[in-house]
A and B are shown apart, each in its own frame.
Chain A
Amino acid sequence: MHLVCQRCKKARATVHITDTFPQKREWHLCEECAGEEGIIRKQEDEAFLEKTQSTTALLQEFLKHKSAGSKLDNVTCEHCGITFREFKQQGLLGCPQDYTTFREMLTALVERAHEGATQHVGKVPVRADTTTQKRLTLTRLRRELQEALKCENYELAARVRDQISELESV
């Protein structure tokens, strides 16, 4: 024996949901009526909702477990005097130079915090020196090349490749 749709009272109820407003009650609907009520739509999108299971590892957690008591803790920035241990305790760095001093440790941490990314690809400061400009333009172009190849846009890929070799020869 099967349930009959509570809405049209004809078709077989295949969608079962529990409602909570204004009071708790169960709903049993057929496919069509559920669609009318805006329910089916949500179930189709379930794939979207449950797609990503990985969660961002929290900075603090990472810091606690990954490098607890390591001898890297005593590495000190000669500009601001902060040790890596102090950074781990407060979560904030002491000066821009720390990114150079602690580069290796920070790269691992940044990778966790930024979905695996370890290389900046965004804006370059207007006043950055020409070496920086060139280096980051190349990074950006190589990324565009990969994208173009992935999308099988070979015309674009060829154009980007030309730009890269032109810039590399300067």
Chain B
Amino acid sequence: MKLGDFTRMTGEWLRGEGPLADVVVSTRVRLARNLAGYPFLTRASDSERTEIYRILSERIAACPFGRDAVLVDLEEADALDRELLVERHLISKQHAEGAGSRGVTISAGETMALMLNEEDHLRIQGLSCGMQVEEVWREADRIDSELGAHLDFAFDCQFGFLTACPTNVGTGIRVSVMLHLPALKLTQEIERILRAARDMHLAIRGLYGEGTEAAGDFFQISNQTSLGKTEAELARSFVDSIVPRIVEYERVARTALARTRGQQLDDKIWRAYGTLAQARMISTEETQALLSPLRMGICMDRFHELDLPRLNEIFLLTQPAHLQKVLDKSLDGQARAAARADFIRSRLES
């Protein structure tokens, strides 16, 4: 499979389905692993780095998961392809911009993405739409066991799985859920909720994960503690309390908005739709900001010009790298803004 083909598919996690999908956009679970007997990447020589890459990629290709998966060599891939993978949430920005021997193995439905030689030798990431923490963790865990049956991962009786950064030791797990919280943002309750989440040792990030600001109405919430609790316990804390709690706040805020300020809400939704349908130039940020009220409108059953899969597709394909891939030409900022507006109009007309 070539990278260009990705633009014709919509990642599993963007299908817009799954439990609590009105608020929870997607779930991801990653497990950090390192090969025993090799230095971490900060201290690895080029030849050690290449060897780690070779051992891991060969082992992945040989296990059942690897048969339908595609390995992308990021040292070979051009900048646009790497950016495309960031936009699809398959690799981190850090991984895209890194140097040296590194790559990613992506499963057929894009439900699994294994980063090779990112901060750790291996990061197994499971992805899905909606709220499916335990399902995604089990899948990532299964692949970890498949690989771990043949590879020795660095492990310590006290610290568990050893990682380059001590904040990831133990289980090496990070659970993240992407939440869409437009109503809490509108009612300005969001700060209070996010502060409470931070106090519960959760990290809040933006749409593209680590190192990105929480901007707009999308927030990625993840655990910071990976030691002293089992993987199942960490997953359960998301399923049992953290996420349902925030989802409930958002739903209550939406209901209250609809009941007390329905007209203003509809006005906001339709103005956003009007701009998207008429604009001649538009940035990625403005596109995403305008799609946000439409998503809320769809989930509240107040807006029917679009459905979630079509909205998600516009969201995905209007990002800079995707847009250039879809149109098959390289465009600078100004030309891209115009091309993006044309693309959105054509999608909304059809």
A interface, CB within 8 angstroms of B: 19-22, 36-39, 41-42, 45, 48-56, 59, 79-82, 90-96, 99-100, 103, 106-107, 109-110, 113-128, 132, 135-136, 140
**Interface pair B164/A110, CB less than 8 Å apart:** no
Assembly CA distance A81 to B42 (angstroms): 12
- B225 and A122: CB pair below 8 A? no
B264 within 8 A of A: yes
Cβ of B192 under 8 Å from chain A:
yes
Q: Which residues of A contact B226 (CB under 8 A)?
A: 114
How long is the Cα–Cα vector from A136 to B156 in the complex, in angstroms? 10
Are B196's CB and A50's CB within 8 A? yes
Structural contact, A48 and B225, CB atoms closer than 8 A: no
**Which residues of chain A are within 8 angstroms of B179 by Cβ–Cβ distance?**
none
Contact B187 A90 (CB under 8 A): no
Instruction: Give the chain B neighbours of A54 by CB distance below 8 A.
Output: 199
Q: Is B141's beta carbon under 8 Å from chain A?
A: yes
Instruction: Give A49 to B173 CA distance when docked, in angstroms.
Output: 25
Query: Which of A22, A52, A92, A125 contacts B261, CB < 8 Å?
Result: A22
B186 close to A (CB within 8 Å): yes
- Cα separation A39 to B200 with both chains bound (whole Å): 23
Is B167 touching A59 in the complex (CB atoms < 8 A)?
A: yes
Centre residue among A90, A92, A100, A124 by max chain B CB count within 10 A? A92
Cβ of A42: which chain B residues have Cβ within 8 Å of it? 189, 249, 252
Judged by a CB distance under 8 angstroms, whether B100 is at the interface is no
Contact with A along B232-265 (1 / 0, CB 8 A): 0000000000000100010011011101110010
A-B contact pairs, 26 of them (CB 8 A): A20-B186, A21-B187, A21-B261, A37-B260, A38-B256, A38-B259, A50-B196, A52-B199, A56-B198, A56-B201, A80-B39, A82-B43, A94-B39, A94-B42, A99-B156, A99-B169, A110-B169, A114-B169, A115-B201, A119-B158, A122-B160, A123-B141, A123-B160, A125-B148, A125-B155, A135-B157
Partner of A39, one of B162, B165, B170, B256: B256
Chain B residues positioned under 8 Å from A45 (CB to CB):
245, 249
User: A37-B260, A99-B156, A118-B158 given as contacts; is B166 within 8 A of A55 (CB)?
Assistant: no
List chain A residues, Cβ under 8 A from B201.
56, 115
CB distance from B59 to the nearest CB of A (A): 13
Contact A103 to B158, CB < 8 A, known contacts A92-B165, A93-B165 = yes
Q: Is the CB of B253 within 8 A of A38?
A: yes
Q: Are A121 and B228 in contact (CB-based, < 8 A)?
A: yes
Interface residues in B36-51 (C-beta closer than 8 Å to A): 36, 38-40, 42-43
Interchain CA distance A82-B40 in the complex, whole Å: 11
New A-B pairs, 16, CB < 8 Å, besides A93-B165, A99-B156, A120-B227: A21-B257, A22-B261, A36-B259, A41-B252, A45-B245, A50-B196, A94-B42, A99-B169, A113-B225, A116-B228, A118-B158, A120-B156, A123-B161, A127-B152, A132-B155, A140-B230
